Amino acid sequence: MRDLLNPAMRKWLLVALAVIVADHLTKFWVSSTLDYQEAIPVLPFFSLVLVHNTGAAFSFLADAGGWQRWFFVAVGIVATVVIMRLLKRHAGHPRLALALALVLGGALGNVLDRVVLGHVVDFLYFHYKSFAWPAFNVADSAITVGAALLIWDSLRGKHVSASKP
């Protein structure tokens, strides 16, 4: 618990919380504005559409019969524990810590959906002619940006521990 009081750690946990809040505010707005599978064109290549995803990325295991809900909740909880440990260790490395905070917030945003609703609310839908990217949400976006930052950070080399001179 005292780690949460560490100002460096607290900053990154606030970033994760901001992702969760933005994710759930947008999901609430879309869920209260659109009917299920209703699409509102915003741009020629982008629409808002309310869909429910019982699977993971790209609806992986969406038709698995229901067990996947708790499996993905468990994966999200394990990921949270791992990310919290990594964040504690690397709170002094801004790019790495930001990446971890984004992934943490996104993972928890989707885990909350699975626990409360039994599915993840997706609504951002990009398409062009016959090509369509599966709908996603703010949490998915944060996870993607965080993962990209993690890859970028890993390509830049090893970190020097913040506790060493």
Question: Which range (10-24, 108-122, 144-158) has the least confidence?
Answer: 144-158
Would you state the structure tokens that stand for residue 44, as one six-digit string?
């020629």
Q: Express as a percent the part of the chain with pLDDT over 70.
A: 82
pLDDT of residue 161: 46
Query: Helix-strand-coil percent breakdown of the chain, rounded to 5?
Result: 60, 15, 25
Helix (H, G, I), strand (E, B) or coil at 78: helix
Bridge partners of residue 124, in order along the sequence = 48, 136
Of 26-30, 70-74, 116-120, 121-125, the one with minimum mean pLDDT is: 70-74
Q: Which of 23, 113, 140, 153 is catalytic?
A: 140
Sheet arrangement for strand 131-132: 39-43, 46-53, 120-128, 131-132
Q: Which residues contact 37 (CB under 8 A, 6 or more apart)?
A: 49, 50, 51
d(CA 113, CA 73): 9
Do residues 115 and 122 make contact, with C-beta atoms less than 8 angstroms apart?
A: no
Predicted confidence at residue 165, as pLDDT, reads: 43
122 catalytic? Reply is yes
Per-residue pLDDT, 156:
80
pLDDT band at 68 (very low <50, low <70, confident <90, very high): low
Please, which pLDDT band fits residue 43 given cuts at 50, 70 and 90?
very high
Report which DSSP code applies to 56: S
Residue 131 confidence (pLDDT): 93
Q: How confident is the model at residue 54 (pLDDT cuts 50, 70, 90)?
A: confident
Of 23, 113, 122, 153, which residue is the catalytic one? 122
Q: Of all residues in the chain, what percent carry a pLDDT higher than 90?
A: 64
Instruction: Kindly report which listed range (8-12, 37-41, 63-67, 143-147) carries the lowest average pLDDT score.
Output: 63-67
Q: Could you tell me if 108 and 80 are in contact, meaning their C-beta atoms sit under 8 angstroms apart?
A: yes
DSSP one-letter string for 97-135: HHHHHHHHHHHHHHHHHHHHHSSEEEEEEEEETTEEPPP
* Residue 136 pLDDT grade (very low, low, confident, very high; cuts 50, 70, 90): very high
Cα separation of 90 and 154, whole Å? 13
Handedness of CA 121, 113, 143, 138 (dihedral sign): positive
